């Protein structure tokens, strides 16, 4: 019976490590997507500034992002 409990404990520990790895990978991917979003906003502002020859520091990009 003790051997069975030990096997179950090892299985649960292994499963916990696998889940931890999955969570870490998801967090890493989320950071990458967040970075891409920030980069996209900066590029959009730069394009608008060049096209309109004005600074757009206070420009709200949400309307543009919804259309893109």
**Could you tell me if 42 and 59 are in contact, meaning their C-beta atoms sit under 8 angstroms apart?**
no
Between the alpha carbon of residue 62 and those of residues 11, 35, 38, 42, the distances in Å are 47, 17, 13, 13
Domain limits of the chain?
2-67
Confidence of residue 21 (pLDDT cuts 50, 70, 90): very high
Q: What is the pLDDT of residues 37-60, one digit of tens each?
A: 888 888 888 787 777 766 666 666
Contacts of 59 (CB under 8 A, 6+ apart): 45, 48
- Compare 4 and 67 and report the one with higher pLDDT: 4
Q: Is-above-0.75 flag for pTM? A: no
């Amino acid at each position: 019976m003790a051997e069975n409990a030990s096997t179950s404990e090892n299985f649960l520990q292994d499963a916990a490590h696998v889940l931890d790895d999955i969570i870490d990978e998801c967090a890493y991917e989320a950071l990458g997507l967040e970075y891409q979003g920030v980069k996209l906003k900066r590029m959009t502002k730069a394009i608008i500034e060049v096209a309109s020859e004005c600074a757009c520091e206070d420009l709200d990009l949400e309307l543009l992002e919804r259309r893109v």
